Amino acid sequence: MTLEEKAALVIGAGYGAPQTLLPGGTMIGNSGTKVPGTAGSTAAIARLGIPSIVLSDGPAGVRINPYRKGDSTRTYFATAFPVGTLLASSWDPALVERVGVAFGNEVKEYGIDIILAPGVNIHRNPLNGRNFEYYAEDPLLAGRMASAIINGIQANGVGTSIKHFVANNQESSRSTINTIVSERALRELYLKTFRIAIAASNPWTVMSSYNKLNGTYTAERHDLITTILRDEWKYTGFVVSDWGGGRDWVAEMQAGNDLIMPGNKAQIASLISAVGHDSLDVRILDANVARILHIVVKTPAFSGYKYSDRPDLKAHAAIAREAAAEGMVLLKNKDNTLPIQKTVKTIALFGNSSYFPIAVGTGSGEVNKAYVTSLTKGLRDAGYNPDAELEKTYVPFVKDTTAKLLAATPKGNRPGPSPELILDAGLISRKAAACDLAIITIGRNSGEGFDRKLETNYALITAEKEQIKKIADGFHAKGKKVVFVLNIAGVIDTEGWEKYADAVILAWQPGQEAGSAIADILSGKVNPSGKLPTTFPVRYADVSSAKNFPGTPSGIPEQVIYEEGIYVGYRYHDRFQVKPKYEFGYGLSYTSFSVEALKLSSMVLNGKLSMTVKVTNTGKVAGKEVVQLYVGAPVKSIDKPLQELRAFAKTQLLQPGASEVLTFELAAADLASYHSDSSSWITDAGVYAVNVGTSVQNIREKATFSIPKTLIIEKDHKILQPQVSILELGLRTKEDK
Ligand code: BGC
């Protein structure tokens, strides 16, 4: 290859193509001529038979243009699958892998080579605008679910791009923020998710993130992209920058960030010149090129695959619906309010999102889907009778306000959500008299480029709260129940509505089959078995990163310090006794289960230990249970969480009275903590507590085992240190906490 060809290959072919600029100047990819609407592509070098490969967003489904110029005879819609947080709530890797298989088929049949998914950044703070794309607050759960979807997608012979590597946990100042975080928190939480996912699925590519990490852009960090990812973890695919990520193209090449996207001519010229002036060794460029080509030869583009442009959208919708219902979490169910009682026929549906559910979030995680099923349709199909007058009031209101908002929004900006329809009191009391049940859907969207606003997106606004109270009081006065459906992008405040709820279903953003899947849960066709992948705090101030989000100075933050260290989510609530509203791992069912007879293969862990537990459906309907295994390690030289998720398993559908024995395997390496002073993973000698339960708090069985000798599991490189000292939680004095 000539130098020009090499430089053209490592710089994306997106130059000259239109980019969507978000306010704040960051972009999401929107180029590509082969498949319109994709995020970008690489250069073709025809002389050498190197095809252009197509990269497309995003995590909830293929993001391409549904319509094409000069082609009015057909459409190119893609399936909107449930978002990452919902998939993680299923705690069912086998199911998520099946979603991946369907998703990957769409990738392939629409002519795409690499899908820019999954997003696996840890839920550090509920206000992160992209949390919906991401999986969980815990690296084991997030890592395992991510590997499941990657394996499913890649089984089709197309690639994935696990993103955003690493510590990209907010959207405020997303392309300039300096994330300051300790080596230990990085290793134990933020890097670990990627490590677990990569080890179990080998994604074709890894996407570096926009942020700086301890002072340097991730795309420019050799220690991150080469030393950790390739030398320590033995990763063999290529690394692609986020769109416009990093600033120094030569440094990116040197770091091992092989492909720079979306790419422009000036970047190609600068690499050619750098080689000419000896500031970039051509052997480095050769290595970048080689890693890209090793993937190119695996792509459908290289084998000349004749894609159909006609994936089986109907079959994929069925999987989207199944997965959506499996990941919904029943948060409350007073006096068996749900499933909907046989006597209920007419249902009063409140809330804009009952009629226009939010399928997925916005930005590159958005999908151009053919439809989103409303809750009205879902309930009607299930044999219920949603009140027609309310439908006639809500539907035109939302359509009208959405159109007005769109018209009033400056080009390039995103319109805000339609304001919640405020009904007159007379209508509410008439419905309370006439209908058998009230369902109130609370809708919250968010997306790329913005964090969620505490006052209006995380919390409910006053008018919403007042309306909820009116509806609840009206229905309760008539002896009727009120069910809440949370159609939300991330954790919200529970103040202001929870006390009015007889039952609550957390539906997250369930994809295009939203209404049908919610109706499956409401009707009892599907017994809820989802569990929280992330904690709901009592109040926002109880979030361990609340004081350090989104960083300083306020307004346009330049840096964010992760002072909470490893104490994110349940690790924090547990250790510092801050009671959550709904804890990690929590979720109810329409049946009940016993979890008993915990047995350990040995009382001493030498190499491996296996454990079994028996789960029995003790209730009246069939259901599935998720059993979570937490381990508390002995505290010797460093502070540790009280317990950490080390294994989990979900039962099959158990009929009433039926049992299943679940097996868990533990190795000494799974129990190690990262000691920054020696840069090593160490499993301390001592007694380990095994807590087996159905949430982090609802522990059903306990046992202990011991490790006779302290084990140094792995010695890593001393890298990625913060440039400033961080006063981390757990390292402070008691008073500071
Ligand atoms: C996002 C990525 C996305 C890329 C291409 C960026 O702005 O952060 O997640 O894959 O755009 O659209």
Backbone φ, ψ for residue 27 (5° rounding): -125, 155
pLDDT for 566 equals: 98
Which one from 113, 138, 242, 684 is the annotated catalytic residue?
242
- Catalytic site includes residue 242: yes
Cα(416)–Cα(409) distance, integer angstroms:
9
Q: pLDDT exceeding 70 applies to what percent of the chain?
A: 96
Cα(535)–Cα(126) distance, integer angstroms:
9
| Atom in ligand 1 nearest the alpha carbon of residue 133 | 9
Q: Is the pTM of this model over 0.75?
A: yes
pLDDT for 671 equals: 98
List pLDDT tens digits, range 76-115.
999 999 999 999 999 999 999 999 999 999 999 999 999 9
Q: What is the CA(423)–ligand 1 centre distance, in A? A: 39
pLDDT band at 18 (very low <50, low <70, confident <90, very high): very low
Residues contacting residue 670 through CB under 8 Å, at least 6 positions apart: 646, 647
Q: What is the CA(29)–ligand 1 centre distance, in A? A: 6
- Does the pLDDT at position 20 exceed 80? no
List pLDDT tens digits, range 526-543.
999 999 999 999 999 999
Which mutation among 243, 261, 360, 414 tests ligand 1's pocket best, with the greatest number of atoms within 8 A of CB?
243
- Does the pLDDT at position 169 exceed 60? yes
Nearest to 367 by CA among 82, 27, 22: 82
Beta bridge partners of 623: 654
pLDDT for 706 equals: 98
pLDDT for 279 equals: 97
Which mutation among 206, 242, 261, 367 tests ligand 1's pocket best, with the greatest number of atoms within 8 A of CB?
242
The runs of H, that is alpha helices, within 409-564 are 425-434, 462-477, 514-523
Closest residue to atom 6 of ligand 1, CA basis: 28
Looking at residue 134, its amino acid is Y
List pLDDT tens digits, range 298-319.
999 999 999 999 999 999 999 9
Closest residue to atom 9 of ligand 1, CA basis: 364
Cα(206)–Cα(224) distance, integer angstroms:
12
- Does the pLDDT at position 470 exceed 70? yes
Closest residue to atom 7 of ligand 1, CA basis: 28
| Atom in ligand 1 nearest the alpha carbon of residue 27 | 7
pLDDT for 732 equals: 59
Residue that the structure tokens 């050769």 belong to = 286
pLDDT for 27 equals: 52
pLDDT for 17 equals: 42
| Atom in ligand 1 nearest the alpha carbon of residue 364 | 12
Q: pLDDT exceeding 90 applies to what percent of the chain?
A: 93
Which mutation among 364, 368, 450 tests ligand 1's pocket best, with the greatest number of atoms within 8 A of CB?
364
pLDDT band at 33 (very low <50, low <70, confident <90, very high): confident
Q: What mean pLDDT do residues 403-432 have?
A: 88
- Does the pLDDT at position 733 exceed 60? no
pLDDT for 734 equals: 44
Q: What is the CA(129)–ligand 1 centre distance, in A? A: 13
pLDDT band at 415 (very low <50, low <70, confident <90, very high): confident
Which mutation among 28, 30, 162, 170 tests ligand 1's pocket best, with the greatest number of atoms within 8 A of CB?
28
Residues contacting residue 265 through CB under 8 Å, at least 6 positions apart: 15, 16
Q: What is the mean pLDDT of the chain?
A: 95
Closest residue to atom 8 of ligand 1, CA basis: 242
Ligand 1 pocket residues where CB is under 6 Å: 27-29, 39, 57-58, 116, 163, 242-243, 364
More confident residue, 429 or 21: 429
Q: What mean pLDDT do residues 654-661 have?
A: 98
Nearest-5° angle of CA 434, CA 438, CA 441?
140
| Atom in ligand 1 nearest the alpha carbon of residue 164 | 9
List pLDDT tens digits, range 315-361.
999 999 999 999 999 999 999 999 999 999 999 999 999 999 999 99
What three-state secondary structure class fits 630? strand
pLDDT for 409 equals: 85
List pLDDT tens digits, range 391-403.
999 999 999 999 9
Q: What is the CA(251)–ligand 1 centre distance, in A? A: 21
pLDDT band at 28 (very low <50, low <70, confident <90, very high): low
- Does the pLDDT at position 735 exceed 80? no
- Does the pLDDT at position 413 exceed 90? no
The runs of H, that is alpha helices, within 494-561 are 514-523
List pLDDT tens digits, range 173-215.
999 999 999 999 999 999 999 999 999 999 999 999 999 999 9
Cα(664)–Cα(627) distance, integer angstroms:
10
The length of the chain is: 737
| Atom in ligand 1 nearest the alpha carbon of residue 57 | 10
514-523 and 313-326 helices cross at what angle (nearest 10)? 50
Rama region for 609: left / alpha / beta (φ>0; ψ in -120 to 50; rest): beta
pLDDT for 730 equals: 83
List pLDDT tens digits, range 473-508.
999 999 999 999 999 999 999 988 999 999 999 999
List pLDDT tens digits, range 39-58.
999 999 999 999 999 999 99
Listed range (25-29, 285-289, 604-608) with the worst mean pLDDT: 25-29
Q: What is the CA(122)–ligand 1 centre distance, in A? A: 17
Q: What is the CA(261)–ligand 1 centre distance, in A? A: 10
pLDDT for 21 equals: 41
pLDDT for 22 equals: 42
Closest residue to atom 5 of ligand 1, CA basis: 29
CB contact at 8 A, 360 and 511: yes
Q: What is the CA(514)–ligand 1 centre distance, in A? A: 25
Q: What is the CA(585)–ligand 1 centre distance, in A? A: 30
The CA-atom distances, in angstroms, between 158 and each of 222, 304, 381, 725 are 27, 13, 36, 43
